[in-house]
Homo-oligomer: A and B are copies of this chain.
Amino acid sequence: MENKFSNKIIPIKKMADGSALSINVIEVTGALPGPCTYIQSSVHGAEIQGNLVIYHLIDMLNKTPVNGKIILVPNANPYATIQKSGPYTQGRFNPVTGNNYNRNYTDIFSLPENQIKLTNFVSTNPDDQQLPQLFKKFISSTIDSIIEKKKPYGLSDDFFLNITLQKIASEADICLDLHTGPVACEYLYSHTNQKEEVIADFPFEFILDIPEAFAGAMDEAFFINYTHINKLLSSSNRQLLKCSSYTVELGSEEKINTKIAQEFVQKITSFLSKKNHFAEKNECTYKIKKEKKYISLQNFKTYNAPTGGHVEYFVTPGTHVQKDELLAIIYTPSNDKNGFQKIHIKALHDCWVINYQNSSTVHEGMELFQVGEDAELYLSN
């Protein structure tokens, strides 16, 4: 009853020096049927903790029979991983174009010609039983046709990486895109219709509620396909298709930590257990100890620096602060005998601190903190 492991190397980008960047797609297939889960990490190159999570997940899957299939893509964005300025990794955006690597995915069925194809697909496939598997293949072939059409003029690197990841993920029912914040606690981005599931099944402490809409990110690109088809199915009173899609924030960037990675493996496999990915006797039963905080996107607030200078941060991600509590002091250079002037940054409202900037040197207008206000609290499950 062992899992079967395989992997393939997919070329992503030939560099000017002739070297070739590629991704390693690892598939773990169980002996028994079950769902298919897609997990990628490090699309933002400095957000590397997910790579270690995948490493330890593979370790765990060497010992634990899985139902169905798990597709793993660590280091999903090799170009992002190699960008250095000083010792730091600038892995958030393409150094040539500035494009954020998590905003270039394609809403494939928003293109008029593919809307028509989708309508035809739904009407010509009346069997609700077969529809989920057929739809996955249809997503994949639609992606192929988009790539083919653009190929003669050459594919932009951002487009090609992102659509390639989308294609690999198209086989899955569940998509987990592993990221981190700057200096951050754990949190999930989850669209509003997954609320029940995420509260019940995903043992993360903080959840950000985003609209079920497309703004360029992987989690959205994954679920929006299902949103499109379900709109059509709904209007025909047919059975809707299901998927799960999350951006999973694993703490702070530019660091890896084995102990924390293993905890995240437990949390993720706990969620996958609820999706029947594991035989009952192997089921992970990770219990979150803390109340969940569910925060809607409009209550996820960013504090920007009101002036330039050096920042001392006084609060820890994951903690609660009250209105008027001191979040940070900015020492802004002053042309006088004191050298600096102190600017106090206080909480405008009660909030949970989610993350703060990963440098203490800021210009006016740079992000300082992201916080969640007016969180709904749910008992831990």
User: Which residues from chain A sit less than 8 Å from chain B, CB to CB?
Assistant: 5-7, 9, 13-22, 24, 26, 45-46, 48, 51-52, 54-55, 58, 72, 74-75, 78-79, 81-82, 84-100, 152-160, 182, 254-258, 301-312, 331-340, 348, 357-368
Given A75-B333, A331-B52, A337-B5, verify A254-B360 contact (CB < 8 Å): yes
Residue of B nearest to A85 (CB): B85
- Quick one: given A48-B361, A51-B310, A81-B361, are A74 and B340 in contact (CB under 8 Å)? yes
Are A17 and B89 within 8 A (Cβ)?
A: no
The distance from the CB of A1 to the nearest CB of chain B, in whole angstroms, is 18
Nearest-neighbor residue (CB-CB) of A96 within chain B: B84
- State whether B335 touches A9 (Cβ < 8 A): yes
Which of B82, B155, B358 is in CB contact (< 8 Å) with A15? Answer: B82
A7-B336, A87-B366 known, 18 other contacts, Cβ within 8 Å: A7-B337, A7-B339, A14-B332, A17-B81, A17-B333, A19-B19, A19-B78, A48-B310, A54-B339, A82-B82, A85-B88, A85-B95, A91-B361, A254-B360, A254-B361, A256-B310, A256-B312, A258-B312
**A332 pairs with B364, CB closer than 8 A:** no
Q: Please name all residues of chain B whose beta carbon is closer than 8 Å to the beta carbon of A331 when the two chains form the complex.
A: 51-52, 55, 256
Asked whether A256 lies within 8 Å of B360 as measured between CB atoms, the reply is: yes
Using Cβ atoms and an 8 Å threshold, which residues of chain B touch A75?
17-18, 333, 339
16 A-B contacts (beta carbon < 8 Å): A7-B337, A14-B308, A16-B308, A18-B24, A19-B78, A55-B331, A58-B339, A84-B359, A86-B95, A87-B96, A89-B359, A92-B98, A154-B302, A157-B363, A254-B359, A256-B312
Closest chain B residue to A44, Cβ basis: B86
Contact status A15-B363, CB under 8 Å: yes
Partner of A302, one of B156, B256, B311: B156
Measured CB to CB, the closest approach of chain B to A39, in angstroms, equals: 11
Tell me whether A78 and B6 are in contact in the complex, defined as CB-CB below 8 angstroms, given that A340-B51, A359-B87 are known contacts: no
Supposing A51-B331, A81-B361 touch, asked if A154 and B303 sit within 8 A by C-beta, the answer is yes
Q: Is the CB of B98 within 8 A of A304?
A: no
A85 touches B82 (CB 8 A): no
| CB pair A24 B366 closer than 8 Å | no
